[in-house]
Amino acid sequence: MTPEAPGGPLLLDTHIWVWYLDGAEDRLPGPMAETLREAGRGAGLLVSDISVWEVGTKAARGRLRLTPSTAAWIERAGRQPGLSFLPLDRQILLGSTQLPGDLHGDPADRMLIATAALAGIPLVTADRAILDYAQREGGFAVLDAR
């Protein structure tokens, strides 16, 4: 759970993706911001398609403001160097329903964890519930972005 670069791609939790794309790296500790910049230049930053859904949902509810629009923001995100979208598939969808132990029912978090576990890609997050779950249950790598 350290901010050390694992040398491969990184899966970004939705809030990390938004912070990174909107230049709010000040929300990330210095070493984590550098880890993300390095990954963006090298092996890559991955964003699950569930994060597109989550961003759209938050914007529609007024909990997130994206300019000039949500669709334009997503389009711009898809053109960022070093960033790729990772599609959801049936294995991830099913895996999200079969996670061990106690985890809240947020479908986006569950799909991100399942993606990280199944693909063997570290999940970058500042979400305490996910970090605590990773420490309790294991089964997937996580980088603490707090």
Beginning with the edge strand found earlier in the chain, give each strand of the sheet holding 10-12 in spatial order. 83-86, 45-48, 10-12, 123-125, 142-144
Q: What is the pLDDT of residues 3-59, one digit of tens each?
A: 445 678 999 999 999 999 887 767 888 889 889 988 988 869 999 999 999 999 999
Look at residue 3 and tell me if it is in a domain.
Answer: no
Range of the structural domain that residue 15 is part of: 10-144
Look at residue 26 and tell me if it is in a domain.
Answer: yes
CA atoms within 13 A of residue 15's CA, in its CB half-sphere: 12
User: Is 127's pLDDT higher than 80?
Assistant: yes
For residue 3, the model assigns a pLDDT of: 41
Look at residue 2 and tell me if it is in a domain.
Answer: no
Here the CATH number for the domain that contains residue 92 is 3.40.50.1010
Look at residue 105 and tell me if it is in a domain.
Answer: yes
- Rounded to a whole number, what is the distance in angstroms from the first to the last CA of the chain? 10
Question: What domain count does the chain have?
Answer: 1
Look at residue 16 and tell me if it is in a domain.
Answer: yes
Look at residue 5 and tell me if it is in a domain.
Answer: no
User: Is 64's pLDDT higher than 90?
Assistant: yes
Between CA 40 and CA 58 the distance in angstroms is 25
